Amino acid sequence: MLIDTDTQGQSAYMLGVKPVGGLAELLTKELSLDEALFKARENLWILAGGKSLAGVKRLINRKDFGGELTLSESLSEIDADYDYVVVDTSPGWDPLTVNVLFYVRELLLPVSLEVMSLQALGSFFKSVASIKKYRSELKIKYIVPNFMDLRVRKKSETILEKLEALYKDTVCAPIRYNNVLSQAPMYGKTIFEYAPGAKGALDYKELVRKITGQQDLFQ
């Protein structure tokens, strides 16, 4: 299951689907879980994001206590129903991001190979450390360097080396930049549906194999 906690709601758009509701309606109890979930593909269900999540953030802020557990309480009944629950967050730090960190157990952090990304990553680590005081089981499991641009190899490799020096075994193999992958959302397709043979898609396949431990995927 894919959960989109971003007000832009891009996950549904990229998959080419238009759910009638999603995460916001679930959290506000306008829809039941079965009504809010949308089957986007075979074996892929989505709780869509969208503009209405802005109101959910205000709702969380108004709670006297326990606001950080709003997401966990709403999703607790479905944990055992899915092999994987993937939560997509916005890049910022807001009440929904905090809710996600009180719900998930492992974090995967995509990092573009740019100097400013290193600074942002360091700030995020500090923020996560403040959450770990209350959730010691929360773990930053994967750091995924992306936009590895072979046209400016030296710059990309220099930043990658710094990442590896700072975060060691947490850093995964980099994802190579492909312009063709950015076209997939225009057609409502995943990168594996649109350009499965592209270099970047092949890199993402290896990442999925690494995370799942299943080497026979995509065959």
From first to last of its 219 residues, the chain has per-residue pLDDT tens of 999 999 999 999 999 999 999 999 999 999 998 999 999 999 999 999 999 999 998 889 888 888 999 999 988 878 778 999 999 998 778 899 999 999 999 999 999 988 888 888 888 999 999 999 999 999 999 999 998 877 666 778 888 999 999 898 899 999 998 889 999 999 999 999 999 999 999 999 999 999 999 887 776
Which fold would CATH assign to domain 2-182? Rossmann fold (3.40.50)
Specify the DSSP class assigned to residue 182.
Answer: G
Secondary structure letter of residue 189 according to DSSP: -
Residue 142 and residue 169 in contact, taking contact as beta carbons nearer than 8 Å: no
Per DSSP, the three-state class of 144 is: strand
Residue ranges, CATH 3.40.50.300, the chain: 2-182
Are the C-beta atoms of residues 35 and 56 closer than 8 Å to each other? no
Amino acid at 10: Q
Distance, in Å, from the CA atom of 69 to the CA atom of 60, rounded to the nearest integer, reads 9
Contact 36, 22 (CB under 8 A): yes
Q: Does the predicted model carry a pTM greater than 0.75?
A: yes
Give the pair of three-digit tokens for residue 149: 């641009």
The gap from C-alpha 129 to its chain's centroid, in whole angstroms, comes to 19
